[in-house]
Copies of this chain bind each other. A is one copy, B any other.
Amino acid sequence: MTAEIIAIGTELLLGDILNTNAQYLSRQLADMGISVYFQSVVGDNEERLLETLHRAMKRTDIIITTGGLGPTTDDLSKETIAKALGLSLVEHEASMKRLISFFKSRHISMAKSNLKQAMIPEGATVLENNNGTAPGFMVKTDQNIIIVLPGPPNEMIPMYQESVKPILEDLSDGIIFSRTLKCCGIGESTVAEKIQHIIDRQTNPTIAPYAKSGEVHLRITAKSQDEAEAIKLIDTMEAEVRGIVGDYIYTTDQRTLEETVVDELREKGYTLSVAESCTGGLLSGRIINCSGVSDVYLEGFITYSNEAKMKHLGVKKEILDTYSAVSEETARAMVEGLVKHSGTSTGIAITGIAGPTGGTKEKPVGLVYISVYCGGKTIVKKYHFNGNRHKVRERAVVQGLIMLWNELNS
């Protein structure tokens, strides 16, 4: 079975946004054994979109479009796709109700233009949008399956997962099973080098490493006629991989690194507090992305200034004066003052120079100290992170989580 992904939107052709949807969908389809031969990007232009759709309908089984479902007049995906299929648009009652209640619940008046978002080609299967106002839809013809999804990834991805993936799985011959071994604390090229002999001889299952902001995910994918056989194939390869890089694998389930850390803290009956300087709340923000974290995470301090470090964490002025705010000594004093003050059994503190200004020859931009208090002892590590301010801060957040994970598992 073949598929083609058509991203619709002039903003893509202007280079205003990156077409991450095409990558996401391509990977999803590849995992299911559906071959993507083409990706196309076309603007919000009827003639050129029609041309693109007609060609895709001739050469491909499954067509997935993203974008152009917004309420404004320049969004014309739905109208044009209906035209290409020779279908007229009809009002979809349930979608209209959803739209009205969506605006009502947010206490905002609905613009008239939003009404067009409840119009759907006749006979299409509506794909509900639980994260926005534009429903998607699917049309089956004798030759093609046309799946129409919204452009914003936070709407497109859940819609794909909830509504599209199950449909495509039913169409696929054989089943595809995959498992991701999530690694932290090791680089992509190092992992790849260590398991190169497995990568080289892969057939079924296959294995592929993916770098994910500070983590490496190893995805094992097996194709089989039944689930038990696929799981057996994956188990065998996982065991071999674990024999080589097992120490770095933090989970093989859906959980994120922060969820794994929070679950381990909870299991051990530990509590956590966090003090952040250069990351300024991002580490806490990520930990609090775990729902129901309140039994584990007690409190956090954003101590960007020296005054705040002294006031809330009890860091002594002499330490700041002698070693500076970005030093092993300050990081240690921050986490020890933090857990004392907060009464938690574990703590993380981060202090560093995220840049672009503030660096010196001795303390360059990217220098970050992270301290972790766990099991009655303090660990401080020094890092040199590459990249811009945003990147340095993001890496420090991941590394803080990794350090705590390591301590919980040591």
A residues with CB within 8 A of B: 10-20, 22-30, 35-43, 45, 48, 52, 70-74, 102, 105-108, 111-114, 131-132, 152, 154, 158, 187-190, 192-193, 196, 199-200, 208-211, 219, 274, 276, 278-285, 287-289, 291-294, 297-305, 307-308, 311-312, 354-358, 366, 383-391, 393
Contact = CB atoms under 8 A, between A and B. Distances in A.
Given A131-B386, A305-B298, A187 B108 contact: yes
Given A13-B37, A16-B27, A292-B357, 4 more contacts: A13-B35, A37-B43, A70-B189, A280-B297
Given A37-B42, A41-B22, A386-B106, A288 B297 contact: no
A192 B284 contact: no
A211 B134 CA distance: 14
A384 to B, nearest CB: 5
Given A386-B105, A389-B291, A22 B19 contact: yes
Of A36, A189, A199, which is in contact with the most chain B CB atoms at under 10 Å from its CB? Answer: A189
From DSSP, what is the main secondary structure of chain A's interface residues?
A: mixed
- Number of identical monomers bound together in the oligomeric complex: 2
A80 to B, nearest CB: 15
A281 B289 contact: no
A8 to B, nearest CB: 11
A42 B36 CA distance: 9
B18 A20 contact: yes
Contacts of A73: 192, 196, 199-200
Given A40-B38, A210-B16, A301-B302, A281 B276 contact: yes
